[in-house]
Structure 1
Amino acid sequence: MAKLQHKHTTPNIYIIPICCAGILGAALIANFLWASFSSSYISITSNWAVEKSGSIVVPNATTTTSKKKKTANNAKRRVHERFLSGTFADLPAPDLHWEEMPPAPVPRLDGSSVQIKDLFYVFSGYGTRDYVHSHVDIYNFNSNTWVGRFDTPKDMGHSHLGVATDGRYVYIVSGQYGPQCRGPTARVFSLDTDTKKWKELPPLPAPRYSPATQLWRGRLHVMGGSKENRHTPGVDHWSLLVKDGEALEKEWQTEVPIPRGGPHRACVAVNDKLFVIGGQEGDFMAKPGSPIFLCSRRHEVVYNDVYMLDEEMKWTLLPPMPKPNSHIECSWVVVNNSIIITGGTTEKNPVTKRMILVGEVFQFHLHNMTWSVIGKLPYRVKTTLTAYWDGWLYFTSGQRDRGPDNPQPKMVVGDLWRTKLDL
């Protein structure tokens, strides 16, 4: 029995190494699990922090990717990481000296404007998402005061209008009727700014929301915009022969479609050419089943395209804007053979997916078709209403940012600013 027992008993000399090996193995496994957990935890909490802060973590450019050095310098590398806030979209630009002028009588978003000599006509727009204006305010550049107000027609759109002027008569095309995210109308009106009288013109072939609109070669051109659901881009292009606020035709004529559709673009006629600048595809839509057409966000693509239509009715793609830019329908002026554009919206923050406002002033040089960034606005802002008088660049209204370090939209404003341009 003793011999049998000895056969199945491990000698004491082997017990210690086996125990040590077991302990060492358990330690290695525990260490591996802890390292994995720590790495996962750091990754999860870092991602959470980025989402909450709206920042992007960018490793220092000198950090090595070598596995050996990566492990050894892990803590050191974290020290060298830098956080880029949502202002990543800002472009380098010189400072401009801005003067604050008397604010508009009401704040407005997605309003419209035209300048006729020393008078600035500012149309309608949202006061809040639930309230829209239905009047025109007038600013006099010589006296630098707001000097008048009158109502718009009851059946005219309130926001996202297409507007153009011949120097006396203003043409107002389609746009959105009512607050929140109601659909567009097809109705068209003209205004005699001398008499303040309105006249209704033939409606568009189909309703459009924020179409590119301009007078060119005696015809009122309307193109692009969004279709009835507010989201689907339209590429249709129509024109109507007009003169002195009257339509000389009973129906709109179909023209060559614009290469890319969508709303919120600048449309400028200069040097016998028609330019369509920036814009986007897609926009807010009414929430399905909402009795008040409550706005619901949809995917949008902001672009930097610039198209030119020549006298042969051919579209040409020109050098793009310095960055994608939208909500600039009335944010432009023509100065010294160049187009100046103020503010707008650009691509969304890639982390938070929030809208990013634009705070730069752009110049498009018509002699060589090139772009430059000529200055900064007092703050980032979209749907500015812009004018130029006696060497001064003016802008008013729109929706401004949340502060210098947060380019997301916040307050609807009626501020009026000006800066002296030396171009």
Structure 2
Amino acid sequence: MARSTHKHHSSSTTKLVFLISCAGLLGAALIVDFLWASSSYSTAAAPYLSAASKWALQKSGIEVVPNVTLADITDKRKDVKDRAERTRERYLPATYADLPAPELPWEEMPPAPVPRLDGAAIQIKNLLYVFAGYGTLDYVHSHVDVYNFSTNTWGERFDMPKGMGHSHLGVATDGRYIYVVSGQYGPQCRGPTALTFVLDTETKTWRGMPPLPSPRYAPATQLWRGRLHVMGGSKENRHTPGLEHWSIAVEDGKALEQQWKTEIPIPRGGPHRACVVVNDRLLVIGGQEGDFMAKPGSPIFKCSRRLEVVYADAYMLDDEMKWKVLPPMPKPNSHIECSWVIVNNSIIIAGGTTEKHPVNKRMILVGEVFQFHLDSLTWSVIGKLPFRVKTTLTGFWEGWLYFTSGQRDRGADNPQPRKVIGDMWRTRLSL
């Protein structure tokens, strides 16, 4: 009887050990599965961690930002948003997007007569001609203000012609005549115009030119080898990037042809880029794909946010009339169409906008001053602005770098855009 009881007890113990082992194995499997999933998620999410974090850790040299397109990001947008909600603690603050840069001694000058956003500017000798722009989203300017660098005063003011765009203009000059191309007509997110005009800065008179084949927002525009070139920009819906490139022969403020000629398309379309002619080469720098659009059915064309991709790309058109890829900017940068000057065989670019905040997708402004060395084709960061600002308008006179207008940040610790300004500042550059 005792023998029988011993056998029964041994059998029960064996079953208990077996059940405990199974539970242990199941638990281990669940832990491995969890760790694998976490590792997979971390790997998958890595490409979408803010480039700002990488910039913050960068101590020297220039980092090339991956060539991401609007289509690449659109497909993964929802997945990234869901993941970001679960990993907010992984992201650094947006202010970390600022690159290390030396301080510059800025001096505040007389502000512009009106604040303006998305305006345009052209410098001719000691005069800076400042065109149009938003006063607010519901109000646009339709005049030109002139700043005199010799006297550091705002002086002349005159009206623009009816039908001319009020923002997102393409502008270029031959030293007397200013060519004004296309742009948005009206406030909020109204449609673009195809009309083009020429200003004679000596007589302050306007004349019309053949319209563009299609309207464009903020196309890259320059005079090169006797022809006015217009490239990229956004198409009629304000969001779709344009790749088209047109030119027309001009002389003394007049078009020598009745129609625009189709040229080699630009490699990457979009608005808000710097377009520079230097050393008989045509350069296009920075920009973005996508922009705000009019809200469907809105009677006032109220602006509605869409996905935008800011990039650092730079291209050059030379004797072969083929686009060459140049080293990219130190970080993606847009809203710089009139934010550049040429100083001592280099291009200086001030401010702009960069990649959106990785979690809340808010716009981040740029507060650095960049230099592109034309002899070595390299970039450097040469200083900081007194605040971050986009679509600022720059000039250079007798060793002084000036900037005015645009939209500035919310403060030193918040790089998001807030106030539209007319402020004018300058600093001495020794390059």
> Shorter-chain-normalised TM-score: which range?
0.7 to 0.9
Matched, 1:194 2:202: yes
Amino acid corresponding to residue 352 of structure 1 in structure 2: N
Matched, 1:124 2:108: no
Question: Contact 1:323 / 1:346 at 8 angstroms: preserved in 2?
Answer: yes
Amino acid corresponding to residue 367 of structure 2 in structure 1: G
Matched, 1:270 2:278: yes
Gaps of 5+ in 1: 1-53, 62-80
Aligned to 1:171: 179
Matched, 1:383 2:400: no
- Equivalent in 328, 340, 347 of residue 355 of structure 2: 347
- Residue deviations 1:237-290 (CA, integer Å, cap 9, x gap): 000000111000000000000000000000000001000000000000000000
What number of residue pairs does the alignment pair up? Answer: 358
After TM superposition, the score normalised by the length of structure 2 is 0.80
The separation in 2 between residues aligned to 1:128 and 1:147, in whole angstroms, is 23
Cα deviation, residue 85, structure 1: 2.2
Matched, 1:142 2:179: no
Amino acid corresponding to residue 130 of structure 1 in structure 2: D
Question: Contact 1:57 / 1:82 at 8 angstroms: preserved in 2?
Answer: no
Question: Contact 2:53 / 2:97 at 8 angstroms: preserved in 1?
Answer: no
The separation in 1 between residues aligned to 2:317 and 2:252, in whole angstroms, is 24
After the TM superposition, which residues 247-326 of structure 1 pair with which residues of structure 2 at under 5 Å, given as runs?
A: 247-326=255-334
Aligned residue for 1:84, secondary structure, equals coil
Amino acid corresponding to residue 125 of structure 2 in structure 1: K
The separation in 1 between residues aligned to 2:385 and 2:302, in whole angstroms, is 32
Aligned to 1:181: 189
Matched, 1:405 2:413: yes
- Equivalent in 242, 245, 248 of residue 240 of structure 1: 248
Amino acid corresponding to residue 416 of structure 2 in structure 1: Q
Aligned residue for 2:95, secondary structure, equals helix
Aligned residue for 2:96, secondary structure, equals helix
Matched, 1:213 2:221: yes
Aligned residue for 1:368, secondary structure, equals coil
The separation in 1 between residues aligned to 2:363 and 2:156, in whole angstroms, is 34
The separation in 1 between residues aligned to 2:319 and 2:301, in whole angstroms, is 42
Cα deviation, residue 57, structure 1: 11
The separation in 2 between residues aligned to 1:413 and 1:303, in whole angstroms, is 25
After the TM superposition, which residues 44-63 of structure 1 pair with which residues of structure 2 at under 5 Å, given as runs?
A: none
* Percent identity between the two aligned chains: 78
CA distance 1:411–1:220, change in 2 (3 Å): same
Aligned to 1:331: 339
Question: Contact 1:118 / 1:141 at 8 angstroms: preserved in 2?
Answer: yes
- Residue deviations 1:6-45 (CA, integer Å, cap 9, x gap): xxxxxxxxxxxxxxxxxxxxxxxxxxxxxxxxxxxxxxxx
Structure 1 residue ranges (4+ consecutive) displaced by more than 3 angstroms after TM superposition: 81-84
Aligned to 2:429: 421
Cα deviation, residue 84, structure 1: 3.5
- Residue deviations 1:35-65 (CA, integer Å, cap 9, x gap): xxxxxxxxxxxxxxxxxxx9x999xx9xxxx
The separation in 2 between residues aligned to 1:310 and 1:261, in whole angstroms, is 19
User: Root-mean-square deviation (CA), in Å?
Assistant: 2.4
Question: Contact 1:85 / 1:405 at 8 angstroms: preserved in 2?
Answer: no
Question: Contact 1:343 / 1:384 at 8 angstroms: preserved in 2?
Answer: yes
Gaps of 5+ in 2: 1-49, 58-88
